[in-house]
Amino acid sequence: MSNSMKITAGQTATRTLADLIRAMDGQRATTITYVDSKGEESVRTIEIHNVLTTSKGGIIVKAMCRTRGEMRTFTLEQIKAYTVHRIRFVLAVPEDSAADVLPLAHLAFTTQELVDLELERDYPEPKLKLAA
């Protein structure tokens, strides 16, 4: 992946998402330019730990922010540009944010595995109650 900023308006959301997931899987720091809910633009270097979908189909990126040293949430629509770096993650995830991080057992290597994981998360198997 090159170190030049990629402008999200110049590519599909699928391409942006694929690059961000690759950065997460490779544990590569990513610098993003994003616009917050007040319309203010900011540049942050983040370490992506999870990518989730909302019930309305929105995409959320959960990441440790190197500026704040805390887990932060970004929507894909907020990210206006990004670049993936060669440098690896350096921040420890705080224990209160550990539930926001997917365990390695949840990695998907194929499209079908990703679809299966999403369906499993959204429609979990009901737990059987054992008779006493």
- Are 25 and 49 in contact by the 8 Å Cβ rule? The answer is no
Identify the sign of the CA torsion 86, 41, 61, 75: negative
Range with the poorest average pLDDT among 8-12, 68-72, 89-93, 106-110: 106-110
pLDDT in tens, 76-118: 999 999 999 999 898 888 776 555 554 444 566 677 777 777 7
pTM over 0.85: no
- Which of the four pLDDT bands, split at 50, 70 and 90, describes residue 1? very low
Three-state SS at 15: helix
